[in-house]
Amino acid sequence: MQADTQTSPVLAAVLMVSSMAIIGVIDNVVILLSDTIGLWQFHLSRALLMLPLIAGLSLLGMGSLRPQRLGPVILRSVLITLAMLFYFASLALMPIAQALAGLFTSPIFVLLISALAMGKRIGPWRILAVVVGFSGALCVLQLNPYDFDAKTLLPVAGGLFYALSAVVTRSHCAQESTVALLAAMVTTLGLAGAIGLAVFSFVPHSFPDGFVTRGMVWQMQPALLWIVIQAVGSTIAVFMLIKSYQIGEPSYVAVFEYSVMIFGPLFAWVALGQTIGVMQISGIGLITAAGALLGWRSKRAAALGETV
């Protein structure tokens, strides 16, 4: 494994960028299906399609489907499920650039949780990265204190829960198979989808019909193709993401995850006509720079044994 890490950095980068390109494209399809079905039916349907594909990853030798410690794996799955529910809900309500910017506040939350809740020392370079990344998120989200819209906080909530799941992964799930973690996450997302679908389909409520509050839609043929594309694309992208981390040094590979901040908005602009302004482009640049800084300092600190 170590030899691969030393000899395949270019392949690792190509796999990660390719993975992020796929995710940047397929996450946009949520916009195309949001008028037909709801959030909960989308996650249930996607999970039913993804689970056999994930089983295929296990058969290809990517890892066991059986978790070693069920409790931490369930906790991680619940946290990342909450993150994905907030993120995908925001995709139907705002441009993907804003949704991704909110989700990519997760490294900031990871540092804050590490410092405040876990008592870890955070060096000046990471503090600088937090400031730069937070500034970038504000630029992209374009929060207006005089006309505040709570929906802009949906992807930020996703970033918080994603950060919590990352902390649990590092502290309690380090020895788990990546395929087992992925299978547990998709299963939990599917169960959440089933519960939400049942609630909004059969429990009387006064919420207006919308992507988040829509119950069962039986005539889902217009959305079916997009769900299949999402499920297959997600599985392929995650496969490449896993492989990238297997053959590349993690802190080096992680920097390339930020390329999704380019691919997602670019595809939304070309295919869907979503535009972003100079302020948002600057914010994307700042978030990417913060990620690159974190990756560089993590690698350097690991080599020198210093505080990052």
Query: What does the pLDDT average to over 65-92?
Result: 93
Ramachandran region of residue 273, left (φ > 0), alpha (ψ -120 to 50) or beta? Answer: left
CA angle 45/107/261 to nearest 5° reads 60
Q: Which residue has the higher pLDDT, 187 or 120?
A: 187
Residue-level pLDDT at 306 = 53
When pLDDT is cut at 50, 70 and 90, the band that residue 138 belongs to is: confident
- Cα distance between residue 43 and residue 231, in whole Å: 10
Give 152-210 pLDDT, tens digit per residue. Answer: 889 999 989 988 988 888 788 878 888 898 899 999 999 999 999 999 999 877 777 78
Most confidently modeled of 134-143, 210-219, 258-267? 210-219
pLDDT at 31: 87
* DSSP code of residue 150: G
Q: How confident is the model at residue 133 (pLDDT cuts 50, 70, 90)?
A: confident
Please give the average per-residue pLDDT across 52-64, as a whole number. Answer: 89
pLDDT attached to residue 208 = 78
Among 96, 22, 80, which Cα is nearest to 261's?
96
290 and 130 in contact (C-beta within 8 Å)?
yes
What band does 1 get if pLDDT is binned at 50, 70 and 90?
Answer: very low
Structure tokens, 225: 């193709």
Mean pLDDT, all residues of the chain:
84
The pLDDT assigned to 134 comes to: 80
pTM: 0.83
pLDDT number for residue 7: 46
Flag whether pLDDT at 13 surpasses 80. Answer: yes
In this prediction, residue 232 carries a pLDDT of 94
Extents of the domains making up the chain: 2-304
Residue 5: the pLDDT is 38
CA dist 186 and 145 (Å) reads 37
Average pLDDT over residues 270-290: 82
Structure confidence at residue 4 as a pLDDT band (50, 70, 90): very low
Confidence at 299, pLDDT banded by 50, 70, 90 = low
- pLDDT at residue number 102: 86
**What's the angle, vertex CA 148, arms to CA 142 and CA 149, rounded to 5?**
85
